[in-house]
Structure 1
Amino acid sequence: MAELKDTHRKCYDNLLEIGIEKNSRVRSPKMRYKMMTTNITESMNSCLLAIRKLPIASIVEFIRDLLQIWFRDRRTNAREMSTYLTRFKVNDKWTDTSVDLEQRSCSCRQWDLDELLCIHVMAVARLKGMLITALCSDFYTTGWLKHAYSMIVNPVPKLETWKIPDEIRHRIILPCEKKRLAGRPKKSRIPSAGEFRKQKLCLICGGKGHNKRSCPNLSCSTSKPLKKHVLVTFASKKDIID
């Protein structure tokens, strides 16, 4: 916040007016999930780029098939796990921290926010002779992982078997009255903070920010690439028979 105050004072004042607890997960008084909802929506949107222009029924069927594949793969991985806890990573920042086992808190805030043991809590638990798996949240256990993907995604039945109420069958749905913005609509999702997109390289010089048509080294090259001529010979009918 101190760095933000020096660089963007107006943005700093707006955050203070809204409330730090609403913009910072560390300052939030309640437990909040660490993934942004908008990022999840945009990630799902990137999976639907190729079928966006299809009818609604086809898009829904594609999403159902996609979820069925995801649930099947994760259900299979969960069944193959033989450990009590699922696989996870622990980051060590080599900082001085304080651990409170009674309050289930660590000054690095990883245990408080994610309910997942940090390396500091692991060190204290081993020193006290405590069971490490008992200090983690139940949501990180293999049993909860199996339960999360135990649902079966069934295929959509035939249209003739659908039971549609009369009030919905005779309802006329009009398109939304929304003014279309100028320009081509965006298809790629908005990158989150700290995320960098992979830039394409030029095929001539290998540089970034341009392609082979706008390459600055193209004018320096005097020799043009030779066209490949393919010599095609046809065998006579007599040669084929022989």
Structure 2
Amino acid sequence: MDKAARSYTELKYNCHMEELRNLHLNAFNYIMEASPYKWSRVHCLERRHMVMTTNVAECINLYLKFAQQLPMLTLTDFIRNMLQRWLHDRHLAAQSIRLQLTDASHLVILKHVDKEQNLDFTSLCADYSKRQTLIDVYSIPIMHVRHLSSWVVPADIVERVVLNPLFRRQAGYPRSERHVSSSERTTSQSCRRCGQLGHNSRRCSNPPLINDCLCRVVPQEYRRKCSICHSVGHNK
């Protein structure tokens, strides 16, 4: 059911629902009593502003996780080089295909179609699985950035003086992770000393949890000790 609810296309939705029907008919009838428009992405009538695009955006964010700490010009060059390398490698891979279909589509056809039937494989596949379509996708010309000495800059632009913006860096380490939205699941930190949430055992000032109950009198082995003299009652 989870795969059917998260499907983006109606074809995958129908496949997962058919699997659920064959696996458990009562469960299929139970969820079909509620309208699929309430729990299925593909049948949702509202605008999908709350649905995360985890296909391309998250893939690029993973590659830019460490490059985001670079300066703006260096980050721009890193993104440009990354996209150029991706398009170049995929363009060569598309040009190396000698069949009318892509390699993955050709393997699927061989598994489901008998060679003795003398059928045209290309008539059974969509355009996106053909070789020419794959070549056209990665045939976009890329205008490379030339050296600074070859740039033609107008005189009025050269005379302008652009200073660095007034910026005051915030205290602490910069944030390296993205902000979590309200619809995502977050993991809360728990303390192994008292069992409460929001802190860890190093910053815990609560009495320890022994035999599922809080102790009013803290035993000797659970008291904080000094890391230098290893005595109880104070810290370093």
Same fold? TM cut 0.5: no
TM-score, structure 1 normalization: 0.41
1 or 2 for the larger relative contact order (CA 8 Å, sep ≥6)?
1
